[in-house]
Chain A
Amino acid sequence: MLVDRKPPVTARFYLIEIIKGLFITLKNMFFARKVTIQYPEERRNYSDRFRGLHYIKAVNGVENCTACMLCPTVCPAECIHIEAGERADKEKYPIKFQVDVLRCCFCGMCEEACPKDAIKLSTIYEMTQSSRTVYDKDMLMVQRGSK
């Protein structure tokens, strides 16, 4: 049943309600905590599981990657390009390791698939560049972020 409930007379008079509302506004203006994060100086705290820019983990300056091709296989965006080669000690290693960051969807499947813990996603989310940077092996081997 549709019931027509009229607000009390004081509310229908409206003026008192307006004045109350005005003071609620003032209260918010002076006493409420401001939620703005002033970006370049202040940063939002992301979770450690945040999936940002890739890097290749290295031990003693040698990359963990053995060019097993699991990550380009699992990659849904097909953005990892690896060319395998052989080191003097007969160990397989990537001659070329490029990530096409524009295609990458940051799903983290490569990180999951990697048996050697070589490719990882850092917490870096600022990926603007002032030049046409290729995300190649040298670039990716610099450890960034907290992971």
Chain B
Amino acid sequence: MLEFDTLTMIIKVVGVLVLLLQVVPIMVWVERRGSALMQNRLGPNRVGPLGLIQSLADAVKFIFKEDPIPGNVNAFYYVIAPLVALVPAFMTFAVIPFANDITVHGHVLHFQLAQLNVGMLYVFSVASLGVYGIIMAGWASNSKYALFGSLRSSSQMISYELSMGLSVIGIIMTFSSLELGPIVVGQTQPAFTGLTHVFPALANVPFLAHIPKWGIFVQPLGFLIFLTAVFAETNRLPFDLPEGESEIVAGYHLEYGAMKFALFFMAEYTNMFIASAMLTTLFLGGWHAPGLPALLDLVGATGAFREWLRVTFEILTFLLKTSFFLWFFVWVRWTLPRFRYDQLMNFGWKVMLPLALINIFATGALIYYGVL
């Protein structure tokens, strides 16, 4: 039925869009309060309870500020760059599943905006579009530091996108799918059935049979590489060279002010959310919560109520895991100093890339011998 699909799709799109827009102010608040507490300060605590409304006050300030276009810039690319940075960040969420399917009146309702069979490729291609916004901003600004920032961004992108792409090949091999939905469904299985089959002696190890087949358990090396590459991809410390306040002032958004600057800010935080959601989906089992069926049995829920309760818990699980990674981004940012440029390149090409290749071969061997 067309009406059902259209209606649910509109609801899903609006819901996801509202969620993504909500993430930005909340994350800005978390970042500012978190960083303040880590540095033995208090942070913004005046506007609203615990300073929660501070981000809204800042947004209002940004909107009402004068929005000048500096004289030396290329006006067209200067104006379009923040949008080019922001739109891909929003687009990526389309293929990420945030709960298992549910059947309503004979229709299967997917909690995912698009069942794209090349979901993984889509995410990576759209996510790397974001760097075009940064390059355009740096180039159009007609400023040394902005250009340095965007150059750094593009070289960083090349060296880290590669190992990032290679690190998830292990996941694709393990779950035999490029589609994110089946990858998450695959992660609900027990992890080490193959291992205990090959080495029967391990079958007696307690709890081994209860470990779910999350990416982090079957692909620990891939997880580490992906996690590191994601930091470079989202331009977060310790890889925030495109911004590098202490070296190149503010990098690519040096010449930006008012709402255009705020759009870059939104793009950064939305990218963080997308990256966290991808980490959750690929390596932390997405919406999968171990022991959820047992919990539902305990509550005694049945029928449609049980299904909706399950979906609610799955969405909450997904958001919880995602927010852990969002917090992790903040946590790492205020712990590690920035890499030097040559360190970054050495690390990307001489450490991450060989490790990602080793990971692929190791995964292949493990699959060949039936362990995975």
Is A18 within 8 A of B336, CB to CB? yes
Is B42 within 8 A of A32, CB to CB? no
CB within 8 Å of B: which A1-20 residues:
15, 18
Is A29 within 8 A of B42, CB to CB? no
CA distance A15 to B335 in the complex (A): 13
B37 at the interface (CB under 8 A from A): yes
CA distance A34 to B35 in the complex (A): 12
Closest B residue, CB atoms, query A25: B335
Chain B residues bordering chain A, tally (CB within 8 A): 15
Question: A-facing mask of B306-341, CB < 8 A → 1, else 0?
Answer: 000000000000000000000000011011100000
Is B332 within 8 A of A34, CB to CB? no
CB within 8 Å of A: which B16-47 residues:
34, 36-42, 45
CA distance A77 to B354 in the complex (A): 70
A45: chain B residues at CB < 8 Å are none
CA distance A42 to B154 in the complex (A): 48
B93 to A: closest C-beta gap in Å:
28
Is A22 within 8 A of B42, CB to CB? no
A127: chain B residues at CB < 8 Å are none
Is B37 within 8 A of A29, CB to CB? yes
CA distance A30 to B332 in the complex (A): 16
Closest A residue, CB atoms, query B39: A28
A33: chain B residues at CB < 8 Å are 40
A134 at the interface (CB under 8 A from B): no
A124 at the interface (CB under 8 A from B): no
CB within 8 Å of A: which B215-257 residues:
224
Is A35 within 8 A of B331, CB to CB? no
B38: chain A residues at CB < 8 Å are 25, 28-29
Is B336 within 8 A of A34, CB to CB? no
B332: chain A residues at CB < 8 Å are 18, 22
CA distance A26 to B41 in the complex (A): 14
B224: chain A residues at CB < 8 Å are 15
A62 at the interface (CB under 8 A from B): no
B285 to A: closest C-beta gap in Å:
22
B97 to A: closest C-beta gap in Å:
30
A59 at the interface (CB under 8 A from B): no
B40: chain A residues at CB < 8 Å are 28, 32-35
CA distance A33 to B41 in the complex (A): 9
Main secondary structure on A side of the interface with B: helix
A32: chain B residues at CB < 8 Å are 40
CA distance A58 to B81 in the complex (A): 67
Is B42 within 8 A of A25, CB to CB? no
Is A22 within 8 A of B331, CB to CB? yes
- In this complex, the member of B38, B41, B45, B224 whose beta carbon has the largest number of chain A beta carbons within 10 angstroms is B38
B133 to A: closest C-beta gap in Å:
30
CA distance A32 to B42 in the complex (A): 11
B34: chain A residues at CB < 8 Å are 29
A85 at the interface (CB under 8 A from B): no
Closest B residue, CB atoms, query A35: B40
Is A38 within 8 A of B42, CB to CB? yes
A36: chain B residues at CB < 8 Å are 36, 41-42
Is A34 within 8 A of B41, CB to CB? yes
CA distance A35 to B116 in the complex (A): 51
B238 to A: closest C-beta gap in Å:
9
CA distance A35 to B36 in the complex (A): 10
Question: B-facing mask of A100-120, CB < 8 A → 1, else 0?
Answer: 000000000000000000000
CA distance A15 to B351 in the complex (A): 13
A41 to B: closest C-beta gap in Å:
11
A44 to B: closest C-beta gap in Å:
15
Closest B residue, CB atoms, query A26: B331
CA distance A36 to B35 in the complex (A): 13
A29: chain B residues at CB < 8 Å are 34, 37-38
Is B335 within 8 A of A34, CB to CB? no
Is B335 within 8 A of A24, CB to CB? yes
Could you say which of B41, B42, B336 contacts A21, with CB atoms under 8 Å apart? B336
A39 to B: closest C-beta gap in Å:
11
- In this complex, the member of A18, A26, A29, A30 whose beta carbon has the largest number of chain B beta carbons within 10 angstroms is A29
Interface residues, chain A, CB within 8 Å of chain B?
A: 15, 18, 21-22, 24-26, 28-30, 32-36, 38
The 8 nearest A-B residue pairs measured at CB? A36-B42, A25-B335, A29-B37, A29-B38, A21-B335, A32-B40, A36-B41, A25-B38
30 contacts between A and B (CB under 8 A): A15-B224, A18-B332, A18-B335, A18-B336, A21-B335, A21-B336, A22-B331, A22-B332, A22-B335, A24-B335, A25-B38, A25-B331, A26-B331, A28-B38, A28-B39, A28-B40, A29-B34, A29-B37, A29-B38, A30-B37, A32-B40, A34-B40, A34-B41, A34-B42, A35-B40, A35-B41, A36-B36, A36-B42, A38-B42, A38-B45
